[in-house]
A and B are shown apart, each in its own frame.
Chain A
Amino acid sequence: MIKKLLTIVLFASITLIGCTAPTENIDTINDQGKAVMQLDYRDFERAASQMVQSLIASGQLKKEGGRYVVASGRIVNDTMQRVDTDQLMVKIEKELMNSGLVVMTSAVSGGTSPTDSMVYDVRDIRDSEKGSEFKQDTLQQKGQLIAPELSMSGKIIQRNIRYDNNKQQVEYYFQLQLANLGTGLRYWQDETIIGKRGDRKNVPW
């Protein structure tokens, strides 16, 4: 009787193991995975790619005899998802820096955009008693930080629309703008829309 029970349990275990979906790494170069209702990495890649190409083609980043210093402004996440806006901005900033057109500043930023706290930490050290421990000519001098000339800010918006009884439509708007901090003028602005339509039961957050 026990032998029979063990055989059944063993058989059931093997069957259940066979039904488990195996974990696999995503092929991020040629991903053949189906679309999802939430924002995934492919959506951020598409939005970033289109934004960068639009910005470079606009010709607004060309500065005679040098490069613009750009600060990361505030990127508002107005979606129902917990989106880290750096997922978008890191890709865009990286490409813009690689293009040779601009240099980003880590000294100032808007909202939750990243700054490098070490920029100010080393200055605090310089002005404190600990500063005397350092070779004085290796400490950062006053008045050396470069102020940004341009700021990049934006917004990610989500709209949920009931498509029919069984389907819903989710629209994501990626909006980005580039402003001249000296004049306040807006040099460039663009929007990329990513729309998804799927089962109403799929929760897009």
Chain B
Amino acid sequence: MRLTLNILLLTAAIGLWGCQQQQDKRINMASDVASDNALVNIVTKPVVYSFSWITGEGLEIDKAVTYVNKDGFMELEIQGHNRAFNPIRFEYKVEWLDGAGLTIASSTSKWLTYSAAAKGPFVIKAVAPKTTAVDFRMNTRKIPK
């Protein structure tokens, strides 16, 4: 009986998820601000959240855009999404590489903190310390407790 109920709830959650009205993707409405849907419904919310937790939803990078500004410095913009239902704070470090593939020593290449809003997009920006930078690499880590 309980198993049947769980299956029904899960099916309903997935169904409601799929029936969500598609809004303008540029606007991220928090689950506790938007009108009632599968994410905030008192019945389906625990199921959806549990499903997200079980599947290990987290941050995803959509794309990394680089361009050279008018002064000759490479600028980087990393666009991504937080798929989880909770904000995720993390640290990142961008290192810049010159034409020979060598790392450019810079005190700007330090662990910096960022917070990605729940179920929302995020953007990380960085600027190369020298005009000799032609590429980059980025590391992330959990914030030390």
Which residues on A are within 8 Å of B, measured CB to CB? 30-35, 42, 45-46, 48-50, 52-53, 56-57, 59, 61-62, 91, 94-95, 98-101
A91 x B70 contact (CB < 8 A): no
A57 x B130 contact (CB < 8 A): no
B108 x A52 contact (CB < 8 A): yes
A56 x B73 contact (CB < 8 A): yes
B130 x A49 contact (CB < 8 A): no
Which chain B positions have C-beta within 8 A of A50? 112
Which residues on B are within 8 Å of A, measured CB to CB? 69-71, 73, 75, 106-113, 125-127, 129-131, 141, 144-145
B129 x A56 contact (CB < 8 A): yes
Closest to A45 in B: B110
Cα(A98)–Cα(B129), bound, Å = 8
Q: Which 5 A-B residue pairings sit nearest by Cβ, starting from the closest?
A: A32-B144, A53-B127, A49-B108, A45-B110, A62-B71
CB distance from A147 to the nearest CB of B (A): 24
Cα(A125)–Cα(B130), bound, Å = 39
Cα(A34)–Cα(B142), bound, Å = 12
A59 x B107 contact (CB < 8 A): no
Which chain B positions have C-beta within 8 A of A101? 71
Cα(A143)–Cα(B24), bound, Å = 65
A94 x B107 contact (CB < 8 A): yes
Neighbour of B129 across the interface among A33, A59, A95, CB < 8 A: A95
Cα(A56)–Cα(B127), bound, Å = 7
A49 x B144 contact (CB < 8 A): no
Which chain A positions have C-beta within 8 A of B125? 53, 57
CB distance from A67 to the nearest CB of B (A): 12
CB distance from B77 to the nearest CB of A (A): 11
Given contacts A52-B108, A95-B107, is CB(A100)–CB(B131) below 8 Å? yes
B108 x A57 contact (CB < 8 A): no
Q: Which of A32, A42, A53, A101: most chain B Cβ within 10 A?
A: A53
Cα(A56)–Cα(B74), bound, Å = 10
Neighbour of A91 across the interface among B107, B131, B141, CB < 8 A: B107
Which chain A positions have C-beta within 8 A of B131? 99-100
A100 x B107 contact (CB < 8 A): no
Neighbour of B106 across the interface among A30, A61, A95, CB < 8 A: A95
CB distance from A40 to the nearest CB of B (A): 13
A49 x B112 contact (CB < 8 A): yes
Closest to A41 in B: B110
Q: List 28 A-B contacts (CB under 8 A).
A: A30-B141, A31-B144, A32-B144, A33-B144, A34-B145, A35-B144, A42-B110, A42-B111, A45-B110, A46-B110, A48-B107, A49-B112, A52-B107, A53-B108, A53-B125, A53-B127, A56-B71, A56-B127, A57-B73, A57-B125, A59-B69, A59-B70, A94-B107, A95-B129, A98-B106, A99-B129, A99-B131, A101-B71
